Amino acid sequence: MSLEGYSTEKLIILARKAPKNLRKSALAALSVGFFFTNPHYQFFLAYEPSTGLKHLVISYESFVAFSTQLSPELQAIFKRAKSQCFVNHTYIMLEDADDHKQCLKRIKVANQQVKDALRLAELKEYREKTTALRNQGTHAFLSLDCEMWERNHKLIIEVGWSIYDPQTQMVFDRHHIINNAYHLRNGRFVPDNKDNYLFGESLVTSITRTGHDLEADIRRFSPVVIVGHDVGGDISALNRCGIKLTDKFGKLLPTIDTGKLYMDVSSSTHNTTSLGNMCTALGLRPQKLHNAGNDARYTLMAFLKMTDPQREL
C-alpha cells in the first residue's frame, strides 16, 4: 500500500529558500517542538519507489492541517511543495529533539548505502561497456597526458600519448617537450621528470608541431577513443592551445576515464585515486611519473589491464 505525503527534507529546503524576511519564520514552523513532535501530525518512515531512498514523511492530511496553522505568507511558501507517493511506510512518533536527530542520522546512513549501491552498479556498467568496446577490435585507444608547470597550471610543458592498435596489438608512444617552456622546471610540488622518458626518444618541439603530430596520429589510427586519468583537464589544456581532438567529421572523440574504471575494480565510490596508486595496485610498478609520456603509457597499461586482466603487460 502506498502513502501520499510530503518529504520533510524537501519542506526544510523550501523554508531555507524562503525570502530573507520570512526565512526565520518558515524554519521555526518546522521546528521540532512545533512540527515534528506535534501529536496531531502523523509521520512515517517511507521510501521513494523510483530510487529506494528513505524519507521522513508527513502524511497528506497532516500537511493540510499544518498549513492551516500558518500565516498566508508562510502558506504561500509551503504551497510550492508537491506531494509524492511513498511505499513501505512505517508509522513513527518522535518524542524530542534527540529522537528526531537520531532518526535523521539513521536515514542518512541508509540512504548513503543505497546511493553507494547505485553508484557501484553504474561503475560496473561503465567498465562492462568499455570492455565490450575494446573487445570489438574496431577502435584504437589513445592515452593522453599533459604535464603542466607547477607554478601555472594553464601552461603546458610536456605532452605525451600512447596508442594501442587493436589490429597489430602493438603500442606506439610519443613524448613531446614544448620548446618555449623547456626552461620551466617542476620539482617543488611534483617531481621534475621532464628528461626521464622511459619509452623512447623525447622530441623538443613547439606546441603547434605537437598538435599536428597528435592530430596526424588520430587520423592514422582512426577510429580513436581517448583514454586518460581524469582526462578532461588535459583535453581542456590542449583546447586552449587550439588543439581539438576530433574525428574526420569534426566530431569530438569519445573518452574513457581510467579513474572510473578503477573505482569499479576497487569497489570504491570515493574520488578516484592517483595514477601512481592505481598502477601500483594493478601490479604495474610505475616509474618516473610526472613525465607526460610515462604517464600516458602507464595510463594505457592500466586501461588494458582493467579491460583484460589476463593480458601480459
Residue 49 to residue 31: CA distance in whole angstroms: 28
Say which DSSP state 254 is in: P
| Amino acid at site 249 | F
Structural contact between residues 94 and 32, judged by C-beta atoms closer than 8 angstroms: yes
Other C-beta atoms closer than 10 Å to the C-beta of 92 total 15
First to last CA, the chain: 56
**312 has a pLDDT exceeding 60:** no
Grid cell at residue 301: 597499461
Q: Which residues contact 300 (CB under 8 A, 6 or more apart)?
A: 141, 143, 162, 163, 164, 171, 227
Residue 233 CA to residue 184 CA, distance in Å, equals 20
Mean pLDDT of the chain: 95
pLDDT score for 150: 94
Kindly give the pairing relationship between strand 255-257 and strand 43-47: unpaired
Q: Is a pLDDT exceeding 50 seen at residue 256?
A: yes
Query: Comparing 103 with 248, which gets the higher pLDDT?
Result: 103
pLDDT per residue over 263-309, tens digit each?
999 999 877 789 999 999 999 999 999 999 999 999 999 999 999 86
pLDDT per residue as tens digits for the range 86-136: 999 999 999 999 999 999 999 999 999 999 999 999 999 999 999 999 999
What percent of the chain shows pLDDT beyond 70?
A: 98
Per-residue pLDDT, 311: 58
Fold of the domain spanning 127-307: Nucleotidyltransferase; domain 5 (3.30.420)
For 24-80, the pLDDT digits (tens) are: 999 999 999 999 999 999 999 999 999 999 999 999 999 999 999 999 999 999 999
Question: 230 pLDDT exceeds 80?
Answer: yes
Every domain of the chain and the residues it spans: 3-98, 127-307
pLDDT at res. 309 = 63
| Percent of the chain with pLDDT strictly greater than 90 | 94
What pLDDT does residue 313 have?
44
For residue 4, give the C-alpha cell: 501520499
